[in-house]
Amino acid sequence: MNPNVIITCALTGAGDTVDKHPAIPVTPTQIAAAAVEAAKAGATVVHCHVRDPDTGKGSRDPALYREVMGRIRDFGVDIIVNLTAGMGGDLEIGAGENPLAFGPATDLVGPLARLVHVEELLPDICTLDCGTLNFGDGDIIYVSTPAALRAGAKRITELGVKAELEIFDTGHLWFANQMIKEGLLQDPLFQLCLGIPWGAPADTTTMKAMVDNLPGGATWAGFGIGRMQMPMAAQAVLLGGHVRVGLEDNLWLDKGVPASNGSLVERVIKLIECMGARPMSPAAGRVKMGLKARS
């Protein structure tokens, strides 16, 4: 069991959740405020997407990331910032017998275009989604090819940003380990992402199998989506890892009770404390993850 736990709060994501919850953070002001809320509740790290303020849809506009980062700094809270670099990988295959008639959900760019905001803002951490995935039912695929991953990993390392490797299935972990063997990544973090259809299921057997295939001494976390958020948090701590919660992954605190990012952080802290563990501060998290001290 891990007695000292890094708690990441994934604030908003890019999913179609705005109409499913009364207070999904959408604007940069709201996202930054959510980061502060999570920090005050006890989070170690905030994981940030941005959304188009007019539509609520996920965005990769560097100006929105710039505003979020600036507003978080202006609040003066101590929190580790993890920016997604996963936007720009969506491919909607044409329906039926017209697969090349790509649909309106397609937003597919190259590996370096996915890192434009990371190059500019140099956050503590950025993500690298380590493989292609059938993303839910229908015709949406998240595309992240071996060649694109190698290019992205190389650039993240050159920038001196810590990579968090998003692992949605066992083959993703296999390739993540291969990139480490090739010297493309230096001491990355691992995030085991469970329960997203149709990736790895959120259950004990799957998480344990993934943990058994991590490099020795790796710093890792795991999460499950929806109602499996807290069970998988407990499982991750039992297996020696860290945890992630937040509105990106789960909208509900209890049945019929909408969550906030702060309430989910408070809930998971209560959970791990009942297990005999404690949350790590951002300062302690920086030491654990080998990040630069806050200036």
As given in the structure block, the two tokens for residue 284 are: 């302690």
State residue 183's pLDDT score.
Answer: 97
Do 65 and 85 contact (CB within 8 A), yes or no? no
Do 272 and 278 contact (CB within 8 A), yes or no? yes
State residue 182's pLDDT score.
Answer: 98
Q: Angle at Cα 133 formed by Cα 130 and Cα 135, nearest 5°? A: 130
State residue 43's pLDDT score.
Answer: 98
Give whole-number Cα distances, 33 to 26, 124, 188, 231, in Å: 11, 19, 28, 27
Q: Which of 44, 42, 84, 128 is nearest to 248 (CA)?
A: 84
State residue 295's pLDDT score.
Answer: 56
Do 249 and 269 contact (CB within 8 A), yes or no? no
Q: Which of 118, 78, 11, 84 is nearest to 286 (CA)?
A: 78
Question: Using CA atoms, how far apart are residues 281 and 42, in angstroms rounded to an integer?
Answer: 7
State residue 136's pLDDT score.
Answer: 86
Question: Using CA atoms, how far apart are residues 163 and 184, in angstroms rounded to an integer?
Answer: 11
Query: Which tens digit of pLDDT belongs to each residue from 86-136?
Result: 999 999 999 999 999 999 999 999 999 999 999 999 999 999 999 999 988
Do 194 and 201 contact (CB within 8 A), yes or no? yes
Question: Using CA atoms, how far apart are residues 158 and 141, in angstroms rounded to an integer?
Answer: 28
State residue 292's pLDDT score.
Answer: 82
State residue 76's pLDDT score.
Answer: 93
Give whole-number Cα distances, 233 to 28, 99, 268, in Å: 28, 38, 7
Domain boundary assignment for the chain: 4-289
Give whole-number Cα distances, 61 to 34, 90, 118, 204, in Å: 19, 15, 11, 37
Q: For residue 174, give the 3-state DSSP assignment.
A: helix
pTM assigned to the model: 0.96
- 255, burial (CB in 10 Å: exposed 0-12, middle 13-18, buried 19+): exposed
φ, ψ of residue 266 to 5 degrees: the values are: -60, -40
pLDDT per position in the chain (295 positions), as tens? 999 999 999 999 999 999 999 999 999 999 999 999 999 999 999 999 999 999 999 999 999 999 999 999 999 999 999 999 999 999 999 999 999 999 999 999 999 999 999 999 999 999 999 999 998 889 999 999 999 999 999 999 999 999 999 999 999 999 999 999 999 999 999 999 999 999 999 999 999 999 999 999 999 999 999 999 999 999 999 999 999 999 999 999 999 999 999 999 999 999 999 999 999 999 999 999 999 876 5
**1: which strand partners?**
none
Domain 4-289 coded CATH 2.60.40.10: no
Q: At what angle do helices 28-41 and 62-75 cross, to 10 degrees?
A: 40
